[in-house]
Amino acid sequence: MVGAAKRIPAAGEGRRGIVAAGLAVAMAGVLAFHRVVPNSPGRLGSLVESFLPWVGVVVVLLLVVALVRRSGVALVALLLPVGVWVQGFGGLLLSGPGPESGVRELVVVQHNVSDENPDPAGTARALVAGGGDLVALEELVVPALGVYEDVLGAGYPHHAVHGTVGLWSKYPIREQQLVDIRPREFEEGWSRGLRTVVRTPYGDVAAYVAHLPSVRVGVRGLASSPRDASARMLGDLVRDEEVEAVILMGDLNSTVEDRGLAPLTSQLNVAERGFAFSFPAAFPVARIDQVLARSADVRHIRVLPATGSDHLPVAARVTLR
């Protein structure tokens, strides 16, 4: 009996497997060594880091291609970016630990309310429903500021506002001051930084609220020089902060992977659980609304229901050490 002829793979099948495998290795390299990507021209490194978690989508697409093509080489190669992605971002997929008795925990709500918000009263009520001990707001403008003061005042008897940023607190605010994070090229009157000291049941906490300058993506890449300069100034202030426990809340116009925030993320802890993509509200692709901390852990961060803003509010559980 004559045996069945052995099938010889077509040359194109092998090449397709090699291409997919090569792309898989490249994706793993981007994930693992994104700091090596040069930041000039066009701040390419920062641009890549702003959307780094989405490399996982590319990996999934490559997996589908490998399965359709039945490429064993590509499937094996895909284990590399999958492993790197899980190591870097897998923990964010896990739910945060439940409340524990005796834990020194504060719930913090952060929201860029938008200076064009058509419903500040509804936004304020939504923030109250978030159950925060502290509520940090950006893009506060007259006359909406009065609405936020009225609605939030019942549950948050202590508040401080400087420029377009403010903090509402359930606990006494014993210090408050404007902090200068204005890039040199910006005009006088640009005021988006606030420092307070809040007397919590667990001791004093230096609570900062900041709104860093916006960035733009164009044909020349990412325009982020003012934001980066503002982040450096804010980082210097945090480094010199004498109160040990620090919580920084704000629209930082960047993700925590972006090297532009390194002056802050190098000395403050970032969220351990939760992606909480907050911008744009219609189709969130990145979390640029941040809660960072020193001498404390940001155990979990999540988005709250949409308001009249182009950002989603976020709520974080911060455990003081």
What band does 221 get if pLDDT is binned at 50, 70 and 90?
confident
Same domain, 140 and 241: yes
Boundary (domain end) residue, out of 56, 72, 93: 93
Range of the domain at 24: 11-93
What per-residue confidence (pLDDT) applies to 278? 98
Same domain, 246 and 111: yes
Same domain, 40 and 124: no
Boundary (domain end) residue, out of 93, 121, 149: 93
Compute the distance between CA of residue 294 and CA of residue 107 in angstroms, rounded to an integer: 15
pLDDT in tens, 241-278: 999 999 999 999 999 999 999 999 999 999 999 999 99
pLDDT beyond 60 at 316: yes
What per-residue confidence (pLDDT) applies to 43? 87
Same domain, 87 and 168: no
Residue range 115-133: mean pLDDT, rounded:
98
What is this structure's pTM?
Answer: 0.89
Residue range 113-142: mean pLDDT, rounded:
98
What per-residue confidence (pLDDT) applies to 39? 86
pLDDT beyond 80 at 58: yes
Compute the distance between CA of residue 254 and CA of residue 241 in angstroms, rounded to an integer: 23
Exposed, middle or buried: residue 254 (CB in 10 Å: 0-12, 13-18, 19+)? buried
Q: What is the CATH number of the domain that holds 133?
A: 3.60.10.10
What per-residue confidence (pLDDT) applies to 122? 98
138 belongs to a structural domain: yes
Compute the distance between CA of residue 52 and CA of residue 275 in angstroms, rounded to an integer: 12
CB atoms within 10 A of CB 310: 17
Residue range 139-157: mean pLDDT, rounded:
97
Q: What is the mean pLDDT of the chain?
A: 92
Backbone phi and psi for residue 226, each to the nearest 5 degrees, phi listed first: -65, -40
